[in-house]
Structure formats: structure tokens, C-alpha cells
């Protein structure tokens, strides 16, 4: 696994690999691109990624996959909250 997101301190912006990859995971022949976001932003990220030509070129290979991770804190009111990840495979 390798981080492929870069921080530009001059413009104070983040740049993802191919505009949609935060992490790149490689195991044997399988390669997975991961986009991480907040739980409430998952559908917007999925829509954005599906609109990118780079995504369609990336997913054209049978050994490449893409997943969006949406993180949110959950738990009963007044109790300790834990982080939960929602995965959406594209």
C-alpha cells in the first residue's frame, strides 16, 4: 500500500493520483485504488469518480478495482462513539 495524495503548501490544496486515488494497494496481480471521504460525502465522490475519464481507463483492466471508503462516527446517544467504514465498490 502506498499513499498517492500530495499536499501543496503554496496553494493549500491536495492532489490525488489521477484525481481520485488516495491509496493504491497492490497484492500480486490485484491492484485496488481507494478514495477515502466522510460518510456523508460518499455519493458525491462516487458520482465525481464515475465522471472521470481516468477512472474508466483505470477500470478497463480486469485486475484493477476501485473502492470508496466513507468514514463516520456511530453509537448510541450519550455513549462512546466508534468509527465505521462504508465501502462502495465501483
The domains of the chain are located at 2-89
Compute CA distances 20 → 24, 37, 76, 81, whole Å.
11, 11, 33, 29
The three grid cell numbers given for residue 44, joined into one nine-digit string: 458525491
Q: What is the pTM of this model?
A: 0.81
Q: Do residues 41 and 22 touch, judged by C-beta distance below 8 A?
A: no
pLDDT, mean over the chain: 91
Residue 19: closest CA among 5, 32, 31: 5
The three grid cell numbers given for residue 46, joined into one nine-digit string: 462516487
pLDDT at 35: 92
The pLDDT tens digits for 27-45 are 888 999 999 999 999 999 9
Amino acid at each position: 500500500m502506498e499513499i498517492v495524495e500530495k499536499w501543496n503548501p503554496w496553494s493549500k490544496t491536495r492532489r490525488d493520483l489521477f484525481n481520485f486515488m488516495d491509496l493504491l494497494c497492490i497484492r500480486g496481480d490485484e491492484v485496488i485504488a481507494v478514495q477515502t471521504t466522510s460518510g456523508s460525502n460518499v455519493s458525491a465522490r462516487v458520482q465525481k469518480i464515475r465522471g472521470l475519464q481516468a477512472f474508466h481507463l483505470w477500470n478497463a483492466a480486469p485486475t484493477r478495482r476501485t473502492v470508496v471508503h466513507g468514514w463516520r462516527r456511530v453509537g448510541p446517544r450519550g455513549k462512546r462513539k466508534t468509527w465505521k467504514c462504508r465501502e462502495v465498490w465501483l
